[in-house]
Structure 1
Amino acid sequence: MNMGISEKKGFQPLLVAVILCIGLVAGYFYRSAKTMNNPGISPSRNNVLLEALDYIRAEYVDTVSEKKLTEAAIIAMLDSLDPHSVFIPAADLKEYTEPLEGKFSGIGIQFNMQNDTVVVIRTILNGPSEKIGIRPGDRIVKINDTLVAGIKMSTHQIMRKLKGIKGTKVKVGIKRFSVDHLVDFIITRDEIPLNSIDVSFMAEHGTGVIKISEFSRRTYEEFMNAVDRLNRQGLKKMILDLRDNGGGYMNAAVDIADEFLPDGDLIVFTQGRANPRRDLYATRKGRLENIPLIVLMNEWSASASEILSGALQDNDRAMIIGRRSFGKGLVQQQVELSDGSAVRLTVARYFTPSGRCIQKPYSHGKENYFDELNQRYQNGEFFNPDSIIPLDTLSYTTKKGRKVYGGGGIMPDVFIPHDTSFVSPFYSKVVSMGLLYKFAFNYSDANRVILSQFNDPYSIEKFLTGKKIFNQFLEYCSQQKVLASSSDLKKSGNYLRVQLFANIARYILDNEGYYPLLLQIDYGMKKAIEYHMINK
């Protein structure tokens, strides 16, 4: 999850805190540049911190690493400020920035780890692997003559071996079903796009759906390409899905808002102690100004997602459907340090057009801050809007005079509860043991040739229904000693069936196979389509 960033050079409630601690450090950047040589950043002449460092270096009982001490001091300082000011070691900086840059250098495959083996799920179109004949279903057994199968290597370790500088080569040993020996391929690494739009497709009645996972440097370009595709299919209305979108570059969110808003409408403004107020307005005739719009969001929608939804809500341009967003309204600025590391420092707050700052409180420490979503869950807010505890009683008004509130996220216009209606003891066991995903992968892998004949998810669904694959899945669960009662199937059967078929379709057609089938059980999306139908 990446929270909106200003660049400068130089349901599992128990998991929420962990996920957010990892994801929210990415921040939200301005696009500008500073280094530590900037005249605005000068060392103090009487630096107690340096005095302490000199004393430790000279007198400590054991040998110490000055680098480790310095990094620990920087981390502790930033930790005392706010939850989103962070230090990024030089070794990690590239990995932090790649998702927001929208590209990396690698071999161009998507893979899964199955039975401790790298299995190619798909190759990137026109990427290095596709060009030399790597196929979905291939097993990568060796990388540069080093065995990587059967030795419990992590996904992260595999990725580090496959990634590299553009133009460099990597040798992979492939096990292919039709060949009885390893086949060696030498792949020249190249730039691989990282898509920030998960999917775009036409739903019912001319309603186009675009799901954005984060706001990277390439998101606006991806978004407009998706709009072009939907227009060719008869786009009349749009659903913008920002659920689970943790943010990214503010400029990407602003550019997308500009397409929906008329010239002169305020989109967002930022302000900080050392950063004067900066207003960003819609600047041109947007291509989507007359398209009816609904925005979906939830508690994991943050930062740049909240900038976009807040701008559309305050200007009465879109209906917001879902649950209260995360509440991240701080602006980070990245400064590169002399050793290649970086500091992302909070330098301003952002405000929606009506003047709302939607940043939730963080004065009680990081642990409390990142646990706040768990508290919402425990308080019942995920299920009932009446359980929402107001953090800011000051009201603001939209362009048409509707009341809205700040301090703790964007409140939706229409509340959608967290759906648990399908959860049964059988469902819980299936999920905890990963049975659905294992069966979906194994079936797709074994039947790839047959399934690859289908070009759309609905044909795959029809085929799987005819083959009674769901019954085969239940038998598979039974073999794993996970039995379904009639009441389990009444409650969870349809949900599991749709998820199973959608996951099989995803292995063949990627997200274009997954999300259209998932519509059948996506309560929020169904409600959004329903509201579009009502408000023709």
Structure 2
Amino acid sequence: MSKAKIYFPLIIGVAIAAGIFIGGKLNFGDTSDKLFTANSKKDKLNRLIDYIDYEYVEDVNTDSIVDVTVNGILNNLDPHSVYIPKEDMQKVTENMKGNFVGIGINFYTFKDTITVIKTIENGPSAKAGIVGGDRIVSANGESLLGGGYDNDTLVDKLKGERYSNLILEVFRKGTPDLLSFDVTRDEVSIKSVDAAYMLTETLGYIKINRFAESTYKEFSKALKNLKKQGATGLALDLRGNPGGFLEIAVSIVDEFLEDDKLVVYTRNKKGKEDRSYATSRGEFEEGHVYVMIDENSASASEIIAGALQDNDKGTIVGRRSYGKGLVQREMKLGDGSAVRLTVSKYYTPTGRSIQRSYENGNRDYYDDFADRLNRGELLDEKKIEVADSLKFKTPKGNIVYGGGGIIPDVFVPYDTSMQNETLTFLEKRGYLNNFIFEQLDKDRATYAAISKSDFFENFTISDTMVHALEDYLKLKTRSNIVFVAYKEEVKHYLKATLAEQLFGFGAYFKILNKHDIMIDKVIDLNQTSSN
């Protein structure tokens, strides 16, 4: 097993700790006066910083010392209490809100020119008439040619205040003159629902990538559309979902549970509990839900799986989840930075805490995935370690366990045939996306003539395109990557990426899911229950 495969989920885990939290409506019992009164411990730190500022022999950036100190303190608490520097706050906030103010394009610099890969559906650029393949030559009269800007600088030049205007000059293949577009900056959605479509005539599918402020609204709309199409069952895909807002998870669970069923409760250091119950608004209480989880499903994903499992509702399918049962609250530090501090623990309806141990330190905590892999747990459910002392019973008498994640009702092993660390790396670094754009850009008219249904059913990626990808990667990465051993897998990912650029929302996963053993298992379960 390569180190890349072992440490990939470690990166996911760090992202969970650094960027995702399940803040609830929690309040401190003490006032700010009590919290911030002077004491000797604070005086000691203040004096030390002052001494370094005024007396140390060399000039020192004490801001960086403070950052290191804050991180050092938090690292000694738990793995999910984290510091957010001022420069990262906007991006983190936008991600959790589910939108940002901008012009709504996905781009990269191709041959020293900002090139639009695709516009965001219903975004400002799409409304103005900009399309994939357009080259942005200038913005408000300032030339953007020459490749002299990094991506962050380009984003800054394109973003701005909401409702402000940006005049873009654009070169479009086949058009002799430059085109001018007046784009009004506006809120652009960062989608948290990746896909929503029918797997069978009666089984719908929704994939959620995180739980942001906008997630419930996206989910509710998708669920209603699937019901109109005849969905009586739902595959809710939470694989790889690191979590987000607790109250959003509660709202989603509410769609499946009957009135007054306990969803989750939190308990702080003083023993105060805050309980959340299902209401009367459930949209899918009569339908059967299959919740798909894996080793990277965390936090709010586990709240949903745990709430349904403990209420004997639906079926949890997949592998044991991540095991994060701590609740963070964001607190401003006065200089634009913030901390997300663990303020309580959450418990599933039967009383389970699914937080795995971090007694041996953060490094050991994040190495847990490697331990599961080495034990063989990802391939054999019998290798999952459980403790009888953490055994709980659901209302119908089913046995469930606490301490270290949600154990699924139906186990599906890790699919080694579709997991390739090289391909995963290339996808996440954008190489596949950029390569497909360049292939598409060579002959957009031909691809435009292919209908969506014909593409999904009949279009195939040629061996020639796979060889072209190998040549592309050799140029971009200066390494000789050859796909002989897993050519069909590469073709599958290339077709999914091409589908996304051609047809937008949901197309990528609709292609990718055709060779997904967990989805196949859910379809089988649903057909068996219907017979």
TM-score under structure 1 length normalisation: 0.87
Higher mean C-alpha deviation, range 117-126 or range 293-302: 117-126
- Structure 1 contact 112–119 (Cα < 8 Å) conserved: yes
Aligned runs of 1:366-515 on 2, under 5 Å?
366-390=362-386, 393-421=389-417, 437=433, 439-454=435-450, 456=452, 458-462=453-457, 464-465=459-460, 469-476=461-468, 488=485, 492-515=486-509
Residue 344 in structure 1 maps to residue 340 in structure 2: yes
1:308 to partner: Cα distance:
0.7
**Any stretches of 5+ residues in structure 1 without a counterpart?**
1-10
Residue number among 232, 235, 242 corresponding to 1:239 in the alignment: 235
1:106 to partner: Cα distance:
0.5
1:235 to partner: Cα distance:
1.1
**1:476-510 deviation digits (Å, cap 9, x = unpaired):** 3676786666xx4xxx4543333332221111112
Counterpart Cα distance in 2 of 1:29 and 1:454: 46
1:113 and 1:384, CA in 2 relative to 1: closer, same or farther beyond 3 A? farther
Higher mean C-alpha deviation, range 263-272 or range 369-378: 369-378
Local SS of the residue matching 1:535: helix
Counterpart Cα distance in 2 of 1:333 and 1:422: 37
- Structure 1 contact 107–128 (Cα < 8 Å) conserved: yes
1:392 to partner: Cα distance:
7.1
State the AA in 1 paired with 2:39.
Answer: R
1:424 and 1:56, CA in 2 relative to 1: closer, same or farther beyond 3 A? closer
Aligned runs of 1:116-515 on 2, under 5 Å?
117-143=113-139, 151=147, 154-180=150-176, 182-274=178-270, 276-390=272-386, 393-421=389-417, 437=433, 439-454=435-450, 456=452, 458-462=453-457, 464-465=459-460, 469-476=461-468, 488=485, 492-515=486-509
State the AA in 1 paired with 2:160.
Answer: G
Aligned runs of 1:55-74 on 2, under 5 Å?
55-74=51-70
Partner of 1:3: none
State the AA in 2 paired with 1:460.
Answer: F
Partner of 1:535: 529
- Structure 1 contact 392–407 (Cα < 8 Å) conserved: no
Higher mean C-alpha deviation, range 343-352 or range 104-113: 104-113
Counterpart Cα distance in 2 of 1:535 and 1:186: 55
Partner of 1:18: 11
Higher mean C-alpha deviation, range 327-336 or range 384-393: 384-393
State the AA in 2 paired with 1:343.
Answer: V
**1:126-175 deviation digits (Å, cap 9, x = unpaired):** 32212322111112344556665663755444333322321334454433
Residue number among 507, 511, 520 corresponding to 1:517 in the alignment: 511
State the AA in 2 paired with 1:312.
Answer: L
1:113 to partner: Cα distance:
4.9
Partner of 2:477: none
**1:362-417 deviation digits (Å, cap 9, x = unpaired):** 12222222222233223322222223233674201112111111111111111111
Counterpart Cα distance in 1 of 2:281 and 2:232: 18
TM-score under structure 2 length normalisation: 0.88
Local SS of the residue matching 2:291: strand
Counterpart Cα distance in 2 of 1:34 and 1:149: 53
1:527 to partner: Cα distance:
0.8
- Structure 1 contact 132–187 (Cα < 8 Å) conserved: yes
Counterpart Cα distance in 1 of 2:425 and 2:64: 44
1:474 to partner: Cα distance:
4.2
1:18 and 1:114, CA in 2 relative to 1: closer, same or farther beyond 3 A? farther
Counterpart Cα distance in 2 of 1:214 and 1:428: 19
Local SS of the residue matching 1:300: coil
Counterpart Cα distance in 2 of 1:428 and 1:334: 32
- Structure 1 contact 118–141 (Cα < 8 Å) conserved: yes
- Structure 2 contact 466–487 (Cα < 8 Å) conserved: no
- Structure 1 contact 35–336 (Cα < 8 Å) conserved: no
1:255 to partner: Cα distance:
0.6
- Structure 1 contact 16–371 (Cα < 8 Å) conserved: no
User: What is the percentage of aligned positions where both structures have the same residue?
Assistant: 36
Local SS of the residue matching 1:64: coil
1:462 to partner: Cα distance:
4.3
- Structure 1 contact 168–188 (Cα < 8 Å) conserved: yes
State the AA in 2 paired with 1:499.
Answer: Y
Higher mean C-alpha deviation, range 312-321 or range 380-389: 380-389
State the AA in 2 paired with 1:503.
Answer: T
1:462 and 1:448, CA in 2 relative to 1: closer, same or farther beyond 3 A? farther
- Structure 2 contact 210–244 (Cα < 8 Å) conserved: yes
Counterpart Cα distance in 2 of 1:226 and 1:118: 33
Local SS of the residue matching 2:35: coil
Partner of 1:84: 80
- Structure 1 contact 451–460 (Cα < 8 Å) conserved: no
Local SS of the residue matching 1:137: coil
Local SS of the residue matching 1:260: coil
- Structure 1 contact 296–320 (Cα < 8 Å) conserved: yes
- Structure 2 contact 17–82 (Cα < 8 Å) conserved: no
1:447 and 1:405, CA in 2 relative to 1: closer, same or farther beyond 3 A? same
Higher mean C-alpha deviation, range 292-301 or range 62-71: 62-71
Counterpart Cα distance in 2 of 1:242 and 1:502: 19
- Structure 2 contact 109–147 (Cα < 8 Å) conserved: no
Counterpart Cα distance in 1 of 2:239 and 2:327: 21
Local SS of the residue matching 1:234: coil
**1:232-273 deviation digits (Å, cap 9, x = unpaired):** 211111100001111011101001101100111110010011
Partner of 1:100: 96
1:163 and 1:35, CA in 2 relative to 1: closer, same or farther beyond 3 A? farther
**Any stretches of 5+ residues in structure 2 without a counterpart?**
475-479
1:260 and 1:177, CA in 2 relative to 1: closer, same or farther beyond 3 A? same
1:427 to partner: Cα distance:
7.7
